[in-house]
Amino acid sequence: MTSTLDQVHAGLARVSTRPVKVGLVAGGLGAYWPQFPQLLPQLQSSARRVSERMQALDCEVVDVGFVSDAQEAAVAAEKLRAAGCDLIVGFLTTYMTASMLVPVAQRAGAPVLLLNLQPTEVMDHATFGTGEWLAYCGACPLPEMANSFRRAGIPFRSVSGYVEDERAWGRIAHWVKAAGVRGMLRHGRHGLMGHLYPGMLDVSTDLTSISTQLGGHVEVLEIDDLRVRVEKVTEREVDERVQLARDVFTLDDSVQEPELRWGAQVSVALDRLVEDFQLDSMAYYHRGLDGEAHERVAAGMILGASLLTARGIPLVGEYELRTSIAMLVMDRLGGGGSFTELQALDFRAGVVEMGHDGPAHLAISARRPLLRGLGVFHGKRGYGVSVEFDVQHGPVTLCGLGQLRDGSFRLIAAEGTVVDGPLLAIGNTTSRVDFGVDPGEWTDEWSASGVGHHWSLGVGHRAAELARVAELCELDFLHVQPS
């Protein structure tokens, strides 16, 4: 699925992502064809146009054609089952029985979207007869389908409009995008390296729950998996990565050349680690002791993690597996997504200050990102370089993946606006977010949502898109919007 994010730099090419596979079946009641000879060709023409428009939505369309009865529908169902689609689209061109689509949905094992798209905005009542009216009758079977799907225990959603209705196609595009995110999660590979930050009870995640609730795989990694790759990086590779850092970042005077080169060396090794294990995201933390190799490796990861995040492979610290996944979701929706936590509240300006001293999504920076040298990472061992910037000013969305008492995940969102104002210059990705209410009240409601310590901060208002993702993934969804 192609992201809408701009490429940050020629050396940071976006990672290629798996295409969204959409299965399409159109149909109508075969009893009509001998009665109204012109009806079937007209409906098939509409079906071809819908297929064309679907293919323009940046997805791979598996079009199994037009079905006229339950037997033909059974053949189509088997083709769609074998195709392994992310979304099944049933186009109701006219009346058709539920027995023609329920088996398709039952066998496909994918979310279902029903389309009721009549040929034009309105019928020509003065000239239409029964045959012409039937071409506009896609709404007729929709309640029947809905009732039958509910009784079969099959979740569904529908879009009604007309074939060239841009509003309808906007809604269809959102479902296709959400299906792509669901497919990405079901096929995703998430790395988890090191160990839990001591005492962070909210961060702890049952790894089995990732596979059972979201799909995908968690690859458990050792800090030595990265250390051995760091040791094999050549001086030439370090030189090239240092030059890339100088091209992408403004370097603060606090950045020392040895620490920059160390961050560059770890960055090259991170690229290899991600490639070797075919990771889509990764969370990490390792404490280390007294300046030994593991401590230095862990402290040198922010540069490389930020460069990978900008390419569409989010890496996060503090062992925050769920937040790395939330960042991946926001990235695939086109909003980027930086590692974020609460920092302070500005009650005079009415804003919440949030960010982190860790991996950042460079593509959503309001300015050329700064690389700052830190003598100490607060609460962590080691020292090195960190990324500092403000997220692009304008609409933003927070996305968190919370875990509730029964172990189930909840997708949590909040929409606000990043505004101008004073920022700390301490190597953090700080942003001032206006949620339109008292910052204290907002903070209380956000904290009560079950979100946990960290979340993803991305550009654009995307709560509606996240709600669709949650629905297709069968997750609880909460939009935090105190009044």
Per-residue pLDDT tens for 100-132?
A: 999 999 998 899 999 999 999 999 999 999 999
Segment among 263-272, 285-294, 307-316, 382-391 with least mean pLDDT: 382-391
More confident residue, 264 or 58: 264
Mean pLDDT of the chain: 94
Specify the pLDDT at position 2.
37
Mean pLDDT calculated for residue range 65-78: 96
pLDDT at residue 4, as a whole number:
42
Query: Rounded to whole angstroms, how far apart are CA atoms 248 and 7?
Result: 11
Structure tokens at 187: 């096929």
Where residue 359 falls among pLDDT bands split at 50, 70, 90?
confident
* DSSP codes of every residue in 398-420: EEEEEE-TTS-EEEEEEEEEEE-
| pTM for the structure as a whole | 0.93
Q: Which residues have C-beta within 8 Å of that of residue 292, sequence separation ≥ 6?
A: none
Q: Give the domains, in start order, of the chain with CATH numbers.
A: 20-185 (3.40.50.10940), 188-479 (3.20.14)
Q: Given this model, what pLDDT does residue 8 score?
A: 61
Q: What are phi and psi of 163, to 5 degrees?
A: -55, -40
Question: In which band, very low, low, confident or very high, does the pLDDT at 144 lie, cut at 50, 70 and 90?
Answer: very high
Longest dimension (CA), the chain: 87
pLDDT at 376: 57
pLDDT above 80 (res 400): yes
- Write out pLDDT tens, residues 407-463: 999 999 999 999 999 998 888 889 999 999 999 999 999 999 999 999 999 999 999
Give the residue-averaged pLDDT of 146-155.
Answer: 96
In this prediction, residue 383 carries a pLDDT of 67
In the chain, DSSP finds a helix count (H) and a strand count (E) of: 15, 19
Calculate the CA 154 to chain-centre distance: 24
Q: How confident is the model at residue 168 (pLDDT cuts 50, 70, 90)?
A: very high
Average pLDDT on 341-361 reads 93
- What pLDDT is recorded for position 290? 83
* 266: CB partners within 8 A, 6+ apart: 226, 230, 297, 300, 301, 303, 304
Mean pLDDT for the stretch of residues 145-167: 97
What integer is the mean pLDDT of 214-223? 97
Task: Place 379 in a pLDDT band, splitting at 50, 70 and 90.
Answer: low
Residue 213 amino acid letter = Q
Question: What confidence tier does 256 reach under pLDDT thresholds 50, 70, 90?
Answer: very high
pLDDT given at position 260: 95
What are the pLDDT digits (tens) for 238-253? 999 999 999 999 999 9
Grade residue 282 by pLDDT with cuts at 50, 70 and 90. Answer: very high
Neighbour-count burial of 90, counting CB atoms closer than 10 A to its CB (0-12 exposed, 13-18 middle, 19+ buried): buried
